[in-house]
């Protein structure tokens, strides 16, 4: 196991290099650069930037250098100083902009992941065991509705319910008085009070799909001969389910961690904008639109790291749950 983990960690290094280079190139593929986007933004408000000022901005930001030179400076800064570069639009170090947002994003992501698994696992098992019962039909209807309802529409409905029925402030993750306040027990409690709305919204579609996955996996396992043999030996139904078919059915369920973790970070842009969440997704979208290559590249690099970490964790959990899997 330790050898497998060490090999995967070593392979993550070239993978991160490759993805960071591709991300850096793709961000610069659209016509123009940050200065071009900046001039277009000023032109919409009737402000004009002459060619000399534009050339000075490109020289200041190093945009006149070849792409490989720009990438080399960026990646060397990350490796030697932990410096992700300067955000063109915000005129601040990228690390100052992303770490607080990434911390809140990871809190939201982990809370959503725990809620998703806690709901999907027992309901998926129940739906398979009670196949074609009224409860199974109800679960199936709810899951199809959860998959079909757009997240932003659900966000608007829940915002209305929370504001009208519960009188709660639904914008952001904090009340206005706690947004700039230092961390304390009161601020943490305020975060938890606001966290349930985005967690519920983000968990709906993921929970609905995982319920279907778990139900299908369980239906493949509960009629196999080893389950019949275990039942014939006198095991109680609850213990039998947990010891055999649930364990095997968890394999595809656990493997979803590889894509679910980064998807919760990057796939919640619309929900984050609707709810005005101070997470990574809106800043990522803004940096891509402005061609702020260092800020966007840092986010893409972190999302890639989350994908690789999610894959590693899912492989380790699969080996622990199912002894037949050997990580060699």
The four Cα atoms 175, 181, 183, 187 give a dihedral, to 10 degrees, of -20
Smallest Cα–Cα separation from 16: which of 310, 327, 316, 306? 306
Sketch out the chain's domains with CATH numbers. 1-94 (no CATH), 97-326 (1.10.3720.10)
Q: Determine the Cα–Cα distance for residues 64 and 239; give it in Å rounded to an integer.
A: 67
CA distance 47 to 38: 11
Alpha-helix runs per DSSP H in the chain: 2-28, 34-44, 51-61, 67-81, 94-129, 134-148, 151-165, 185-221, 225-232, 237-243, 245-255, 257-266, 269-275, 280-289, 293-321
Residues of the chain with pLDDT under 70: 31-33, 37-50, 53-54, 57, 61, 260-268, 326-328
User: What is the predicted pLDDT for the residue at 137?
Assistant: 92
Q: How far apart are CA 278 and CA 194, in angstroms?
A: 12
Question: 191-197: long-range contacts at Cβ-Cβ below 8 A with a sequence spacing of 24 or more?
Answer: 191/107, 193/168, 194/168, 194/169, 194/170, 195/107, 195/108, 195/111, 197/155, 197/158, 197/159, 197/162, 197/170, 197/275
Identify the pLDDT of residue 4.
76
pLDDT value, residue 26: 79
β-sheet bridge partners, residue 93: 86
Nearest to 279 by CA among 289, 287, 269, 288: 269
Question: In terms of C-beta density within 10 A (0-12 exposed, 13-18 middle, 19 or more buried), how is residue 236 classed?
Answer: exposed
**Confidence (pLDDT) at 44:** 60
pLDDT in tens, 113-156: 888 888 988 999 999 888 889 989 999 898 888 888 888 788 88
Query: What's the DSSP call for residue 221?
Result: H
Taking residue 258's Cβ as centre, other Cβ atoms within 10 Å add up to 19
pLDDT at 237: 82
Nearest by Cα to 4 from 265, 320, 312: 312
Is pTM, for the whole model, over 0.85? Answer: no
* Residue pointed to by tokens 């702020």: 292
Of 150, 129, 136, the residue nearest 269 (C-alpha): 150
DSSP annotation of 176: G
Quote the pLDDT of residue 123.
92
Neighbours of 72 (CB within 10 A): 12
């Amino acid at each position: 196991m330790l050898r497998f983990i060490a090999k995967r960690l070593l392979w993550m290094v070239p993978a991160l290099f490759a993805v960071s280079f591709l991300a850096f190139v793709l961000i610069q593929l659209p016509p123009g650069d940050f200065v071009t986007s900046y001039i277009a933004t000023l032109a919409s408000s009737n402000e004009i930037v002459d060619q000399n000022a534009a050339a000075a901005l490109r020289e200041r930001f190093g945009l006149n250098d070849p792409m490989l030179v720009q990438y080399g400076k960026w990646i060397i800064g990350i490796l030697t100083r932990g410096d992700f570069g300067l955000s063109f639009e915000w005129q601040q170090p990228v690390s100052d902009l992303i770490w607080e947002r990434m911390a809140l994003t990871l809190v939201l992501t982990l809370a959503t992941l725990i809620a998703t698994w806690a709901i999907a696992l027992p309901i998926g098992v129940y739906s398979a065991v009670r196949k074609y019962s009224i409860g199974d039909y109800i679960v199936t209807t709810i899951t199809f509705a959860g998959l079909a309802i757009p997240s932003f529409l659900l966000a608007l409905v829940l915002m209305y319910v929370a504001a009208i029925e519960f009188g709660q402030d639904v914008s952001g993750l904090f009340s206005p008085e706690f947004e700039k306040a230092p961390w304390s027990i009161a601020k943490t409690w305020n975060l938890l009070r606001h966290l349930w709305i985005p967690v519920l919204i983000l968990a709906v579609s993921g929970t609905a799909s995982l319920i279907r996955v778990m139900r299908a996996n369980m239906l493949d396992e509960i009629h196999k001969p080893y389950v019949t043999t275990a039942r014939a030996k006198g095991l109680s139904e609850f213990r039998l389910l947990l010891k055999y078919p649930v364990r095997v059915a968890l394999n595809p369920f656990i493997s979803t961690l590889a894509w679910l973790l980064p998807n919760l970070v990057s796939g919640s842009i619309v929900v984050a904008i609707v709810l005005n969440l101070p997470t990574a997704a809106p800043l990522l979208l803004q940096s891509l639109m402005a061609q702020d290559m260092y800020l966007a590249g840092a986010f893409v690099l972190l999302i890639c790291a989350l994908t690789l970490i999610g894959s590693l964790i899912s492989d380790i959990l699969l080996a622990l749950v199912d002894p037949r899997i050997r990580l060699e």
